[in-house]
Each structure stands twice: as C-alpha cells, then as structure tokens.
Chains A and B, each alone.
Chain A
Amino acid sequence: MARPVPTGSRIRERRMTLGMRQAHLARAAEISPSYLNLIEHNRRAIGGGLLTRIAEALETDRATLSEDGDPALVESLRAAGAAQGMAVEYLDQAEEMARRRPEWARLIVTQAEAMAAQARTIEALSDRLTHDPTLADAMHELLSTVSVVRSTAAILAQTPDIDRNWLGRFHTNLDADSRRLAEGAEAIVSHFDREGTRGADRLLPSEAVARFLEGATAPLAQLEAEGVAAIPELVAGLDPDARALASDILQSDAADAARLPSPVVMAADGPDALIEAAGGDLALVLRRLGLLDPGRGLVICDAAGAILRRKAVAGFPLPVMGAGCPLWPVYGALTQPGHPIVALIETPDGAVWRAHAIASPTSQASFATPPVLRATMLLSRADDASARPAPVGPGCRVCPREACAARREPSVLSLAQGSRSRPA
C-alpha cells in the first residue's frame, strides 16, 4: 500500500491548489510565515486547534489534511471499487484518492450507493411485475379488450358492404368493449396510484421488513441483549405497516431467545445437540442456529411457499424478492409436516450444503380448519459429505441451471448473456 502523504505536504498542496500565498494562510491561521513553512515541509508536527484553523482557511476539513485521512470514506471508496471488480492495486489507491480528492471521492461513494439502491429498486419492481397477480390480471384484461376493439374497428372501417345485422352487432360490441377498456385502464392507474403512495423506494411492507432484518444494523444483537423491551426503538424507523410486521417477527425472535438462550446455542456443535434443550421443538433449534450462527443460513416459508424469513449465508445466495428454488428441502418438508428432513444439496458453484428442514403447525387445528403450516430450513456447509448431493439453485430468476426440470421462468443470467434461443 502507498505510504501516506504527510500532513504538511497536504497543507502545502491544498494551499497551492487554491493559489493562496503562504503569508496569507499564516495570517489566517494566526502563526508566522516561517513557522508555516516548517509545517509545510514536515519539520514541525501539527494538530489540535492549529490544524482546524488551517483547514478552515483552506476551505476543507481536518480529515482531509490529516495523515490518517477519513477511514470511513476510504473504506466506502474501496467497497465501491470492489463492487465494480476493480483490481487490488487500484483499490489500494483509495486512501490516497480520499485524501487528495475528498470531494470527488465522496461523489464516487454517493453515486455508488445511489446505483446500488436503484438496482435494488429495479429488482423489486421487476419481481413485482412478475409476481403481482393483480397487475398481471389487469394487464391481461386490458390487452384482451384492446384486441377486440382493434379487430372490430378494423372490420367496420374495412368492410363497406357489411349488412345491417352485423353492423348493429359490431356497434354494440364496440360500445361494450370501449367501456371495458376504460374500466381496465382506470384499474391499472388506480393500482399504480396505490403503489405510488408507498414511499420513495416503493417497497412492500414485507420487503421493507426483509431489508430491515438483513441490513447492516441487524437488530438481533440488541434483541438478544434487551429482549422485547428493545423492539419499539428497533422498529421506530419503519413505516407503520412494516413496523407492525417487524414487531411481530422480533417478538417471536425474543420468545425464541428466551426458550433457547444464545450461550446454549453457540456452545452446541450442531442441531442434534440442541434438541433436548429446545424441549424437542426442532423448528426452534433450526431458527436459533440459523439466526445466531453467521456460518449458517435460514429460510422460513408458509404453506404456499412464500418466503417469510431469510438469513443469507456466504456461498448460498438467497433471492432478495420472490420465491426460492422449488427443489429446496424446505418445500419438501411441507408435504410431510412433523417429519424432519436432512438432505445434502449442491449449489450451482459446486458447494455442498446440509439442509435440515421441518414443517410444523403454527395454529391449533380443528375438525373444521386445518392447521396453518410453516416450514423452516437450516443451511450448513457440508463439503466433507460423501453422499451425492441433489442439485438446487438460488431461485429461477438468478439460477444458471438452464435445463432444470423445475424451472418456472427464464433466468436473468441467461438473458444477460444473450444465450437463450429466440423463437423464429
């Protein structure tokens, strides 16, 4: 890594960039020109109030002039470069860039963060267009009606010898279909109007909660330490709908923590060692290990397969939005509630994982209503396993397994590579 540029040299460079005379800066900093000259040639140490006064006179901040720079800015700059695949030798220049050109460095960091936020928004909107049944139905109705209107209008315009009976019939149809068209258009506009009231990033409450739970300031540690008392403060920044949803999840997490405390969980070497401590509640074991152990992942879904909770683990990508891979054992568990599944699975990159899954009722069954089921899956690395693993993916949209029999939609990966064959 490049040696840091001394503070005095940076003061001199900044002053010369501004075209400021040494005497002028010395006067502004309330020191003699000769003393400033010693500082600029790194013959005198500088800090405290003097560095602040010089920074103000040079219209910059202490961090920019300080040898230590702005560590947060340097790290953000490195992260921005790494996200774009920048080579290591260039990443090492982040510190110098942050120090010499802090305004440009901040601009790069700000733009990188904005791009990442926009990518998340695009992904969320793309998922919604694919998975929003209300919008899909409304668009289907609209296009069908447009088709009738277009065909009928063309018939009327291009058939001068049409007889009176047909003419009357087509006029009647056109009248009815034009009304349907107007209603369909209004339905879609209303749909997007409702979407527009959801806030700048247009997240559904479930999406906002998923982001909240997975964010850099994940609330688990505070919840473990303080229990339910921590919840109001933790969820305060969320919108009301998302806040209610997040509160329910965190209360459930707090109850889990009370039943199976983190020291017990972290002392165990796997799910089997925790069954007795959890009173035989296998789903509780999987939830606690999945949330507490950074080396394990967790997926919880309902009986419709909708993912209610996901905790990503390095090497096993989970879809940010939408459904997961239909071949995940968590879905197989739903077919046999109460029966635990342990299965070896292989991600597209060849990594082998052991999946523990179980489906359990979350409500009391009666003769009139079946129980509400929820399935839980714990993911742990199992590269030393000798049995043959079953191939799975992260979810169809981001899965490269083109020929998978379980595929329900094309992968954006193959779309991006232009490898899909187009119809003639």
Chain B
Amino acid sequence: MNDHAQPGPPGRVLLIEDEPNIATAIAFILQRDGWRVSTHSDGATAIDAVSRHTPDVVVLDVMLPGKSGFDILSGLRSGDWTDLPVLMLTAKGQAKDRERAEALGVSRFMTKPFSNQDLLGAIRDLATLAPR
C-alpha cells in the first residue's frame, strides 16, 4: 500500500477500524499523503498493536469488536501512552460521546461522515503534537 507515497510529514499512523472498506479508503488517502499506515481491526488487542507499531498518531474508531474505542483510549491514557495523539472517529455524534472522549483524553474527535481533506488536516495537526 506504499506504492503511492508522496512527500509529506514523516510519520506512522495506526488505523484501528473494523470496517474494511473505510479502512482501505483512509489508508489510501494517508499513504498518498506520505504516511506509513498500519491497520488493526480488533478492539481487544488494539493496545498491544499500539505497543508493537509505536505510531505517531492513532486513528481510532469507537465501535469495535472486543473492546470499544473508549475503553482502548482509557487503556492508552492510563498506561504508557498519555501523550500519544489519538484521533477518534465515530458515527455517534452525540454530545455525550464527545464529552466522554474528551474526559478520557482524546486529542481530536471527528464524526462520520467526514471529508478526506478534513481527516488529513487533523492528522497533520496532531502529528505536530506527537512526542519525538
């Protein structure tokens, strides 16, 4: 999936998303922007995947099999990943979900459907916050 890499901010993105078609689209967009993208679809092992891939930015869906995005975010923030930029994606745009994510320490919260440009812009913004 790196065939289309173009100059862009160097960095790794871990995409935790169980819907294969949206994972394909997001990965394609990010790779063309120069990102190295890893995908993971299982909520239960998502934190292990973060440890394994050591991404600069995590893109995290809320509704995942095994463990919700909220639980994963909580696990990251209570572990070794307190500063890791996490962009949360959800189709549940209710205020309580956003508030819950912010209370758990999310870096950015986007609701589906989103534009590709907004997604890219958000990840670029977050990458500048990533601890190096």
Q: Do they bind each other?
A: yes
- Chain A residues near B (Cβ < 8 Å): 136, 139-140, 142-144, 146-152, 154-155, 158-159, 163, 166, 169-170, 173, 176-177, 408-410, 420, 423
- Chain A residues contacting B80 (CB-CB under 8 Å) are none
The B71-92 residues at the A interface (CB cut-off 8 A) are 91-92
- 4 nearest interchain CB pairs? A143-B91, A147-B112, A147-B113, A151-B25
Residue B40, interface by CB 8 Å: no
Q: Is B52 an interface residue (CB 8 A)?
A: no
Asked if B21 and A177 sit within 8 Å, CB to CB, the answer is yes
A173 touches B24 (CB 8 A): yes
Q: Which residues of A contact B4 (CB under 8 A)?
A: 166
Q: Are B114's CB and A147's CB within 8 A?
A: yes
Sample of 11 more A-B contacts, CB < 8 Å, known A151-B25, A177-B21: A143-B113, A144-B22, A144-B91, A150-B114, A151-B22, A151-B116, A151-B119, A155-B29, A166-B4, A408-B96, A420-B95
Q: What's the minimum C-beta distance from B71 to chain A, rounded to whole angstroms?
A: 16
Asked whether, in the complex, the Cβ of B109 is within 8 Å of the Cβ of A144, the reply is: no
The interface size of chain B toward A, counting residues with CB under 8 Å, comes to: 28
Instruction: Find the A residue at minimum CB distance from B98.
Output: A423
- Whether A154 contacts B99 by the Cβ 8 Å rule is no
Report the bound CA distance from A163 to B113 in whole Å: 26
B21 engages A423 (CB within 8 Å):
no
* B19 contacts partner chain A, Cβ-Cβ < 8 Å: yes
> Closest residue to B23 on the A side, CB-wise?
A148
Distance, CA A136 to CA B97, complexed state (A): 13
| A410 partner residues in chain B, CB cutoff 8 A | 95-96, 99
CB of A140 within 8 A of CB of B22, answer no
12 sampled A-B residue pairs with Cβ under 8 A: A136-B92, A140-B63, A140-B92, A146-B112, A147-B22, A148-B19, A151-B26, A155-B25, A155-B116, A170-B28, A423-B98, A423-B102
Cα distance, A154 to B102, chains bound together (Å): 29
Query: Separation in Å of the A126 CB from the closest CB of chain B?
Result: 12
Question: How far apart sit A423 and B116, CA to CA, in the bound complex (Å)?
Answer: 22
Q: Are A152 and B112 in contact (CB under 8 A)?
A: no
Q: Which residues of B contact A140 (CB under 8 A)?
A: 63, 91-92
In the complex, chain A residues whose CB is within 8 Å of the CB of B115: 150, 154
Report the separation of the CA atoms of residues A147 and B22 in the bound assembly, to the nearest whole angstrom.
8
Name the B residues within 8 Å of A150 (CB-CB): 113-115
**Chain A residues, CB < 8 A from B63:** 140
B3 CB–A CB distance under 8 Å: yes
Interface centre among B4, B21, B112 (most CB of A within 10 A): B21
> Complex: how many Å from CA A32 to CA B94?
74
Contact between A173 and B19, CB atoms less than 8 A apart: no
In the docked arrangement, what's the CA distance between A148 and B28, Å?
12
Q: Please give, as numbers and ranges, the residues of chain A lying within 8 Å of B93 by CB-CB distance.
A: 143
| Complex CA–CA separation, A173 to B25 (angstroms) | 9
Q: Does B91 contact A147, Cβ atoms closer than 8 Å? A: yes
**Is B124's CB within 8 Å of the partner chain A?**
no
CB distance from B59 to the nearest CB of A (A): 12
B36 close to A (CB within 8 Å):
no
B16-47 contacts to A, CB under 8 A, are: 19, 21-22, 24-26, 28-29, 32
Task: Give min CB distance, B80 to chain A, whole Å.
Answer: 26
